[in-house]
């Protein structure tokens, strides 16, 4: 692979789900690149399409009820409509995924050792001894204190943090150059969250893999990411480096998300948190024209929105959708 090429390149991706007799795009015209040795965060509220994008990259959708168009390029191969036999060679070996709920993604009837071993059986020519050594190595790498004991345990015998470490070990088993982490810290307490984030940073430093981090937690983004893509209603509304996004946010949605974060050093203790009006619309009610965030910022006039919003490069590497960002200001909601 040409070293100048991104690890992963997504071009004009559309992912539509069948609802009754029609398809509605949960991911609508998304384009993105993932570079080697980069942590790319994708943020947004629940229902914005983040996990749909992740599972589409992994090829995990039912093709009878999903319509996928566009390009997901890996090593000059378009993963869209790739046959299952070829996709099976890529899953786990080239692209690993850390799922949101470790208890749901682990088989309750299999030992931890057997579950990590599965990928090695499928993707490597290791013998039994080599695979066992590799599993124990992985358990130690993800910070499990007693690998030999954990090897023979079942998922229900482990804590939530330990199960999440096992899921990470499975994703890392074949040393994939791309790792997708879908809300990897959502169900964990803050101490375990910090440990998992430190672990992902350590893994990236050691392997130079590209990591796509799916999250709604901007605190996680600030701690781990190199670059951020903000997703709303199936589209990216802003893409920038993490430093640029936090110091110079442009899109009204991005600024609203940041304004909603509690501040430990907030001077005015009586000041209420900013609340984003409304909710993410369901798929059948997504507007097909205009700025999709417009209904949630009614104080910005229609003339300030583009009829067909596109991503504008406002600074080098900093992209914003729709011109409404130019005149955005927070309005006090009526009591």
The CA-CA-CA angle for residues 229, 320, 231, to 5°, reads 35
- Is the pLDDT at 258 greater than 60? The verdict is yes
Task: Tell me if 220 is assigned to some domain.
Answer: yes
Give the integer Cα–Cα distance in Å for 108 and 128. Answer: 23
pLDDT at 334: 39
Which residue in the block uniquely carries the two structure tokens 């001077």?
267
Task: Tell me if 257 is assigned to some domain.
Answer: no
pLDDT at 265: 60
Task: Tell me if 318 is assigned to some domain.
Answer: no
Element (H or E) spanning 312, and its range?
Answer: strand 311-315
pLDDT over 70, % of the chain: 93
Task: Tell me if 107 is assigned to some domain.
Answer: yes
Please, which pLDDT band fits residue 49 given cuts at 50, 70 and 90?
A: very high
pLDDT at 332: 42
Low-confidence winner among 79-88, 98-107, 197-206 (lowest mean pLDDT): 197-206
Task: Tell me if 95 is assigned to some domain.
Answer: yes
* Interhelix angle 160-172/190-207, nearest 10 degrees: 10
Q: Which domain holds residue 19?
A: 8-225
pLDDT at 177: 94
Give the tens place of pLDDT for each residue, 139-191.
998 889 999 999 999 999 999 889 989 999 999 999 999 999 998 887 677 88
pLDDT at 56: 96
Task: Say if CB 333 and CB 272 are below 8 A apart.
Answer: no
Report the pLDDT averaged over residues 208-233. 92
Task: Tell me if 154 is assigned to some domain.
Answer: yes
Please, which pLDDT band fits residue 101 given cuts at 50, 70 and 90?
A: confident
- Is the pLDDT at 333 greater than 60? The verdict is no
pLDDT over 90, % of the chain: 62
- Total domains in the chain come to 1
CB-side neighbour CA atoms (13 Å) of 263:
14
Q: How far is CA 101 from CA 160, 163, 219, in A?
A: 9, 9, 20
Report the pLDDT averaged over residues 205-233. 91
Task: Tell me if 321 is assigned to some domain.
Answer: no
Please, which pLDDT band fits residue 329 given cuts at 50, 70 and 90?
A: low
Q: Where are the alpha helices (DSSP H) in the chain?
A: 50-57, 84-90, 102-105, 112-123, 128-141, 147-151, 160-172, 190-207, 218-224, 242-247, 252-259
Report the CATH number at residue 12: 3.40.50.300
- Long-range CB contacts (< 8 A, 24+ apart) of 108-112? 108/154, 108/155, 108/156, 109/154, 110/154, 111/151, 111/152, 111/153, 111/154, 112/139, 112/150, 112/151, 112/152, 112/153, 112/154, 112/155, 112/158, 112/166
Q: Which two tokens stand for residue 160?
A: 């939530």
Task: Tell me if 322 is assigned to some domain.
Answer: no
């Amino acid at each position: 692979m040409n070293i100048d090429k991104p690890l992963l390149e997504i071009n004009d991706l559309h992912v539509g789900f069948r609802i009754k007799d029609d398809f509605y795009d949960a991911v609508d015209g998304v384009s993105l690149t993932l570079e080697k040795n980069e942590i790319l965060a994708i943020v947004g509220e629940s229902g914005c399409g983040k996990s749909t994008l992740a599972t589409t990259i992994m090829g995990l959708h039912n093709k009878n009820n999903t319509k996928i168009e566009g390009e997901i390029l890996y090593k000059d191969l378009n993963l869209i409509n790739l046959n299952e036999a070829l996709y099976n060679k890529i899953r786990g070996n080239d692209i690993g995924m850390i799922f949101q709920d470790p208890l749901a993604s682990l088989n309750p009837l299999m030992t931890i050792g057997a579950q990590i071993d599965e990928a090695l059986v499928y993707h490597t020519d290791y013998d039994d001894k080599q695979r066992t050594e590799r599993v124990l190595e992985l358990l130690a790498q993800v910070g499990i204190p007693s690998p030999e004991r954990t090897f023979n345990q079942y998922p229900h015998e482990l804590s939530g943090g330990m199960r999440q470490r096992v899921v990470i070990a499975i994703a890392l088993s074949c040393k994939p150059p791309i790792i997708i982490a879908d809300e990897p810290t959502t169900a964990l307490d803050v101490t375990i969250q910090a440990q998992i984030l430190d672990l992902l940073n350590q893994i990236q430093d050691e392997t130079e893999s590209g990591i796509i981090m799916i999250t709604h937690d901007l605190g996680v983004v600030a701690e781990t990411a190199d670059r951020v893509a903000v997703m709303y209603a199936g589209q990216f509304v802003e893409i920038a480096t993490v430093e640029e996004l936090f110091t110079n946010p442009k899109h009204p949605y991005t600024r609203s998300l940041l304004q909603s974060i509690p501040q430990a050093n907030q001077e005015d203790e009586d000041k209420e948190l900013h609340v984003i009006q409304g909710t993410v619309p369901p798929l059948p009610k997504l507007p097909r024209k205009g700025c999709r965030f417009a209904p949630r910022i009614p104080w910005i006039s229609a003339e300030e929105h583009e009829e067909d919003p596109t991503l504008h490069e406002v600074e080098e590497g900093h992209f914003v959708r729709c011109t409404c960002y130019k005149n955005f200001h927070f309005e006090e909601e009526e009591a």
